[in-house]
Structure 1
Amino acid sequence: MKKLTLSIAVLSSAMIFSQQKKDTLKINESSIEEITIVASTRTTQKAENSPQKVEVLGKEEMAEESGIKPAGIASILGDISGVQIQQSSAVSGNSNVRIQGLDGRYTQILRDGIPLFDGFSGGLGVLSIPPLDLQQVELIKGSASTLYGGGAIGGLVNIISRKPADKQELTGVVNYSTLDEKNINVFASKKYKWFGYTLFTGYTHQNGQDVDNDGFSDVPQIRSLVVHPKLFFYPSSNVTITLGWNGSFDKNLGGDMQVIEGNSNMIHQYYEQNKLQRNTYELTYQQNLNDHSKIEFKNSLSHFNRNFSSNDNFLTAEQTNYFSELTFVKIMKNMTWVFGTDFQGNKFQPKEAGIFHIPKFENSSFGMFIQNTLKFDKATIETGLRNDFTNHYGSFFLPSIAVIYHLGKLWAVRGGIGLGYKVPNALAPQMTDYPLESLMPIDLKTTRSEKSIGYNLEFNYKKKFDNGNQIFINQAFFLTNIYHPVIGNIGPENKVLFVNENKPVISKGFDTYVKGVFDEWELYLGYTFTIAKYTFLNNDQFIPLTPKHRLAMTIVKDFDGGWKFGIEDSFTGNQYRINHTMTPSYLFMAAMLSKELGKHITLVLNCENIFDYRQSKKEPLYSGTISSPTFNALWSPIDGRVVNLSFKWKL
């Protein structure tokens, strides 16, 4: 299921700013104000009081998702209003996170505040981070470049790893689905006086599936292993030192089902295979000072290796991401200052290739930033300044301001504006996956960096009743302009050339939703309206694969005896295909039933896409021949109805 649970802590925070439709509301007054932003704004504060609009999916949501979709976080992110998880390849299963109608390359993905997923390493495997390994996910819609530098034009997703607690924890999840997907995940942690640890290990075994019987895989064959140990040292009560390694190893095989099954011949020969290795090493040092201020140092080195092979091409290449940051947070009576500097970049190195035109390159930046949060009785103002110096594209001055004002106990208004930029990268995730042999390198002499300005404004109303019922109404507006955007154009011999366009990309729209608790029923009704345009085109300016209308509804209830039941419906309106023709709209429905067996065991039965809506029922997924297919862009589900059963055991 796309995710139905939302703890009352998240809902309460959402009553100021959030736009999620999640599950399990636990009605107890002590949890109402507990959700805090731990990393994304660089200051620890309650989410509902943050001037920066940050949406938080907490530990309860991660725990619930680990039984519904244990292999990754794509489903739970796709439930957030204004966020679209778009599959860019039917063969590889690659997907992108798109925010407010913008391409996935404008979304910055962080792990514990560290950018790791960009360029060559920014696509495959990013969304296959198991939720059992996560404390929470923090998401900012709109420009966040003042906080983290280039790349966060559309927004950012910050994935927060779990930390050890005093009580020993050991949790295991076993899952099986009708698509023949098998998952085994285990998490353990413990905090001692001077030492602590967390350890996650997960394995996914997915056999290739041809759902529409056209001879090609709609779900690739996947073998995936994730290992994530972290050590925590506490030399004093004010100091924490963390050492971590995260290793993910994936092998994906898609294409002709006969090839996948080992029966290739002169006709059945098309395939794509990706062998991925990602090793990330992390060191952090945090010291809390006597006046509640703190100093923090982060350092990370990530090595990503991709071995790609197909029936007519091959490529072995690697990308190294590096990041170092030093921050000082000064807390005063009604004011918080953040001073910081960072150095980050990525280096791409091809090793062996058949047909591939992009040489080795390196993008790096040195940044300095300052942030001030000023609190008044009813308002909080957050201002920021950042200056980045890049190795190829000059410097970028990035100011921002965000304000929240409480109009009494029931109403609040929040608004902000920020500048951003994006360094061109021919290997960044695109709306559709271009063949590697078609990509041409960026011309450093003629190509400029993309620049942006983003605005957001929202009005909120919340009301809590004496009988425990609650209602929340949110009306939010957004606008982002991206100037001289770098767009891939198909040239002679189907080469993909990346050039600056002379008019901006514009995304604008609004979210309207109502959510509440009525007699222990949890209800959500939301609508998102998006107009995203390539204004440099003379005709057909709407950005393809971007629905203008999206509507969603969720109903969830906990019953006596440890039972829980939920239904989710969503409507996706018409979209423009790549060739500017219009797709049909469609309805998606899911249902979930769970049962707690005592204190330690939970069973979850989940069904996605009950009506079995598939793009292949409306049009073929490829053209050409079985030996040389051309796959169409994806605008709806292709894996059909899926039922899964999970078993969770928790010590």
Structure 2
Amino acid sequence: MRRISNSSYYRILYFLLFSILCLSGAPLLAEADIAPEKTTDEKQEKEKQKGDSGSGTTSETGNGNGNSANDKGSIITITGTRRKGLLKDSTITTEVITRKDIDAMGARDLSNTLGNVPGIEVRPAQAGERGSTVRLQGLSGQNVLILVDGQRTTGRFSGSIDLTRFKAEDIERIEIVKGASSALYGSDAIAGVINIITKDQKDPYSSNFRTFAGGGNPLYYGTGLEFRNYASVGVRRGIVSTQFTAGWHRGDGYDLTPDATLGPKNGRIESLSPNYSPFPTNMPLATKLLIAKRHLPYTPPLESTSGSAFEDLNVSNKTTFDISEALKVGFQFYYRYLNQSAVDASLPNTVYDRNNKTHDFMGALNADWELTKNLNLNLNANYARFFDTYTLDQRQSDALDKREKLDNAVTEFRSRLDHKISEGHVISYGAETLIDQLSSARIAPDCKRNFPYVCVDDLLGISDTYQTKNGYAERQRTAFYVQDEWRISNAPRIQIVPGLRSDHDSIYGGQTLPKLAVRLDVTDKFKIRAANGLGYRAPSFQDLYYNFINPGVGYRVAGNPDLKPELSRSYNLGGEWEPNRTFWFSFNFFYNNVDNLIGFRTNPNRDASGLIIYSTSNFQKALSKGFESSVTVRVHQNVSLGSGYTYTDTKDELTNLPLEGRGYHRWNANIRLDHPSSGFSFSLFAVVFGKQPYYCQKNPLWCDPQLSSDYSAITSLLQANTNHLIQELFGSIPQGIQDYCTERNLSYCTSAPTYGVRMVNPHTNLNIRVSQKILGAFEFFAGVDNLLDTFDLTYNPQKPRFYYVGIDGKFSGTESSGAFSR
């Protein structure tokens, strides 16, 4: 990585001067309004905020918990306003998945939790992505900001963060704010924010461990097992509390393709061995004989894997120092090493062994200082780095071998001054600076982005087809914001949170981002919340400087340095009704209108070598609107039922097509049983997906029928006849008119491909988990993920039915007794 430029140092110096100014001006602000001594209730609330920041046992997700006002009173949230506060007092709708929810879901990482929340969809990675990705209110992962304890994460692929990176063992709770949040968080928070809150040490002594093993049908998983193990230990003595967590995970992945061997294996070489069988495992003997005698046309299956084999090591620490009642300093870090391997195949007989080695690190330092009864200063410094090496090895040839390295580092400094004007009225002033540095083989080198646009290596004829040359990019962002949290009245309770942010990007200049949130308590049992704001995403380095060539397939991907930032107008209107402790209902209407949405367009002209060029462009205007609801009924003290429904209507306003893969209807349901006296618990979580739209090429008025691979010759004949018909019908139309019609997907006036929609892939995911506590400290658990074994290699390449079993151990001790309780 390059050294930080002089301009970056000036921005850091500017940020520090602003923080000093806030601090030096504190006495002046304090003299303006001196609050009375805190009441007992205020002191208790302050102790809660300084202590456990997520120990609540219920949530506002509608995911099946018994929600009551008393339960919600103990949950503290941060994400909605960046200040700690009780969930029941929040103006901005914040949904919380607690630790109890995470355990009930049998979650192993973040991807196993979010899909049970209405309005959030977790999907297997698409081309260019990793692991699992998230959609929020119909918008893709590139528009969702994911934080860890309020710190930005790095390492996006095709704009999305891999959710499987974040292991469940270290998570205390997950906070979700839907709708544009750029006024508070800056770029990328167009659809909303997901904040992962990690565990704090609460007891004088504690330790915890979990060991887990799982697998499934050998046809998909092979003969190996998946193992996940972690342990944590923590101490709280005097002014110091600290907790260490370490985990080790490995698995052989899975395979959904009709392969000739049983399941995936690391370093697969079966097709190269002399005893390799060219027939799929379940092929009838009679068919094998006919093929062997060449009575049937047949192409042997190629080896490939759907889910990568992996070995994963992670370690983390979170330490706080209570220097005094007014000053608290915290430090945390995490490190993760991931080694993934997979097999890719393409016709007619090319097989690649793919490997990724990833190092992921984040370290942060935070100070929270109560200067006076009216003023609180928060300072934060964060450094995150994501380093990935990607290797592609073509079997029996070196012609297409390659290695690419990605190195992404983010340095961030933040300060916030909270000024308490009166009870229920706090104004926050914030300043932030961020330095983002990227070195990647997928972006053009400096010499090809700047005059004379030629690299010395090219002039000298020096090339390395294996190690791709990296390009480098750097940007700085500086922001100032103000936010006013004001309870205007108590009867009826009316609260507002207006905010304004001025964000300056070194590439795109300034952007002003407003927001407004309002809460009205119609009665003590019925609350209404509304919010609107401007969302903003500056184009990524990949969007701007993409330089990816795939000669084997015949295309090149090129960035566009003239892109405009994505902007969205977001509106949310919802409410909660809780007439008693046994019933809870929530609803929310949402509307998101995104301008300058960035995507890929086909360039009408090929490059000098004849490759098709796909270039990034602001060609889309997207609309996402809909409704989400949740209901929870506690039918017994130990039993609760929950359900939810989400309606999502999306549209590309240029082509008038729905956004691909966004289904209109989705249902959530769950049953939770928890019997404390016996230690037994049971949970069932179901997510039902309606049909989803996927694009298909029209011929020219409708899409060709979907035929199996056995009828590929018929498909090719239909396509050839269609192309001939289109040329005959539209060949005489002027090119300018055809370009206009192509851009707007009007099939009646262009010979270029236009697209329709197929509604496909309805399915249901059903997960079950049971557990039994033994001897107080131990818990045995077992479960089944994807019980109905639903997957589709094309549209839904998710993990097939998966069985697991494990044991949990939790120990804690008190300082007075010096002994562990279980």
- Residue aligning to 1:626: none
CA contact (8 A) 1:419 1:454 kept: yes
Q: Comparing both structures, which one devotes a greater share of its residues to strand?
A: 1
CA contact (8 A) 2:556 2:612 kept: no
CA contact (8 A) 2:118 2:629 kept: no
Which whole-Å CA distance do the structure 2 matches of 1:426 and 1:267 have between them? 35
Residue 508, structure 1, aligned to residue 625, structure 2:
yes
CA contact (8 A) 1:47 1:55 kept: no
Describe the SS at the equivalent of 2:759.
coil
Greater shift, 560-569 or 348-357, is seen at: 348-357
- Residue aligning to 1:610: 787
Which whole-Å CA distance do the structure 2 matches of 1:64 and 1:186 have between them? 19
1:543 is aligned with what amino acid?
L
Which whole-Å CA distance do the structure 2 matches of 1:642 and 1:421 have between them? 39
1:159 to 196, 220, 234: 196
Q: Say if 1:119 and 1:219 are closer, same or farther in 2 by CA, change over 3 A.
A: closer
Greater shift, 599-608 or 518-527, is seen at: 518-527
Q: Say if 1:423 and 1:44 are closer, same or farther in 2 by CA, change over 3 A.
A: same
Describe the SS at the equivalent of 2:351.
coil
Which whole-Å CA distance do the structure 2 matches of 1:157 and 1:345 have between them? 21
Which whole-Å CA distance do the structure 2 matches of 1:121 and 1:584 have between them? 23
2:674 is aligned with what amino acid?
D
Which whole-Å CA distance do the structure 2 matches of 1:646 and 1:362 have between them? 45
CA contact (8 A) 2:558 2:613 kept: no
For 1:323-472, list aligned pairs within 5 A.
323-331=412-420, 332-350=422-440, 354=466, 359-375=471-487, 376-377=489-490, 378-425=493-540, 427=542, 440-444=557-561, 446-464=562-580, 469-472=581-584
Q: How many residues align?
A: 599
Q: CA deviation at 1:36?
A: 1.5
2:238 is aligned with what amino acid?
K
- Residue aligning to 2:666: 550
Q: Which runs of 5+ in 2 are unaligned?
A: 1-53, 217-224, 260-302, 394-399, 442-463, 697-756, 812-822
- Residue aligning to 1:219: 307
Describe the SS at the equivalent of 1:60.
helix
Q: Comparing both structures, which one devotes a greater share of its residues to helix?
A: 2
Q: Say if 1:106 and 1:355 are closer, same or farther in 2 by CA, change over 3 A.
A: farther
Greater shift, 289-298 or 504-513, is seen at: 289-298
For 1:17-56, list aligned pairs within 5 A.
19-22=61-64, 25=66, 31-56=71-96
RMSD of the TM alignment (CA)? 2.8
- Residue aligning to 1:200: 245
CA contact (8 A) 1:135 1:161 kept: yes
Q: CA deviation at 1:137?
A: 1.2
Describe the SS at the equivalent of 1:223.
strand
Describe the SS at the equivalent of 2:694.
coil
CA contact (8 A) 1:92 1:220 kept: no
Which whole-Å CA distance do the structure 2 matches of 1:609 and 1:415 have between them? 36
Which whole-Å CA distance do the structure 1 matches of 2:182 and 2:465 have between them? 35
CA contact (8 A) 1:367 1:389 kept: yes
Q: CA deviation at 1:94?
A: 2.1
CA contact (8 A) 2:116 2:687 kept: no
Which whole-Å CA distance do the structure 1 matches of 2:128 and 2:518 have between them? 45
2:432 is aligned with what amino acid?
D
1:54 is aligned with what amino acid?
T
Q: Say if 1:38 and 1:148 are closer, same or farther in 2 by CA, change over 3 A.
A: same
CA contact (8 A) 1:140 1:157 kept: yes
Describe the SS at the equivalent of 2:142.
helix
Which whole-Å CA distance do the structure 2 matches of 1:435 and 1:590 have between them? 41
**For residues 616-650 of structure 1, what are the alpha-carbon distances to aligned partners after superposition, in whole Å with 9 as ceiling and x for unaligned?**
xxxxx3xxxxxxxxxx4xx3353211111121011
Which whole-Å CA distance do the structure 1 matches of 2:635 and 2:549 have between them? 51
**For residues 394-448 of structure 1, what are the alpha-carbon distances to aligned partners after superposition, in whole Å with 9 as ceiling and x for unaligned?**
111011000110111222111011002101125479xxxx98886745332x211
Which whole-Å CA distance do the structure 1 matches of 2:612 and 2:57 have between them? 48
Q: Say if 1:91 and 1:146 are closer, same or farther in 2 by CA, change over 3 A.
A: closer
CA contact (8 A) 1:387 1:397 kept: yes
Which whole-Å CA distance do the structure 2 matches of 1:162 and 1:93 have between them? 26
Which whole-Å CA distance do the structure 2 matches of 1:226 and 1:494 have between them? 41
2:404 is aligned with what amino acid?
L
CA contact (8 A) 2:117 2:668 kept: no
For 1:47-446, list aligned pairs within 5 A.
47-64=87-104, 68-70=106-108, 72-89=109-126, 94-117=131-154, 119=156, 123=160, 125-179=162-216, 180-214=225-259, 215-256=303-344, 267=349, 269-291=351-373, 293-311=375-393, 312=400, 313-331=402-420, 332-350=422-440, 354=466, 359-375=471-487, 376-377=489-490, 378-425=493-540, 427=542, 440-444=557-561, 446=562
1:575 to 692, 699, 705: 692
2:600 to 480, 483, 488: 488
Which whole-Å CA distance do the structure 2 matches of 1:319 and 1:505 have between them? 29
Instruction: Provide the TM-score with structure 2 as the length reference.
Output: 0.69
CA contact (8 A) 2:133 2:162 kept: no
CA contact (8 A) 2:209 2:229 kept: yes
Which whole-Å CA distance do the structure 1 matches of 2:683 and 2:364 have between them? 39
Q: Say if 1:327 and 1:379 are closer, same or farther in 2 by CA, change over 3 A.
A: same
Which whole-Å CA distance do the structure 1 matches of 2:578 and 2:686 have between them? 24
**For residues 126-162 of structure 1, what are the alpha-carbon distances to aligned partners after superposition, in whole Å with 9 as ceiling and x for unaligned?**
4321222122211111101011101100011111122
Q: CA deviation at 1:47?
A: 1.6
Describe the SS at the equivalent of 1:127.
helix
Q: CA deviation at 1:509?
A: 0.3
1:595 is aligned with what amino acid?
Q
Which whole-Å CA distance do the structure 2 matches of 1:484 and 1:568 have between them? 38
Which of structures 1 and 2 has the bigger CA Rg? 2
1:226 is aligned with what amino acid?
N
Q: Which runs of 5+ in 1 are unaligned?
A: 1-6, 260-265, 616-620, 622-631
Q: CA deviation at 1:41?
A: 1.6
Which whole-Å CA distance do the structure 2 matches of 1:47 and 1:418 have between them? 21
Q: CA deviation at 1:533?
A: 1.3
2:791 is aligned with what amino acid?
R
Which whole-Å CA distance do the structure 1 matches of 2:797 and 2:634 have between them? 31
Which whole-Å CA distance do the structure 1 matches of 2:558 and 2:433 have between them? 24
CA contact (8 A) 1:10 1:57 kept: no
Q: Say if 1:319 and 1:439 are closer, same or farther in 2 by CA, change over 3 A.
A: farther
CA contact (8 A) 2:478 2:505 kept: yes
Q: Say if 1:455 and 1:355 are closer, same or farther in 2 by CA, change over 3 A.
A: farther
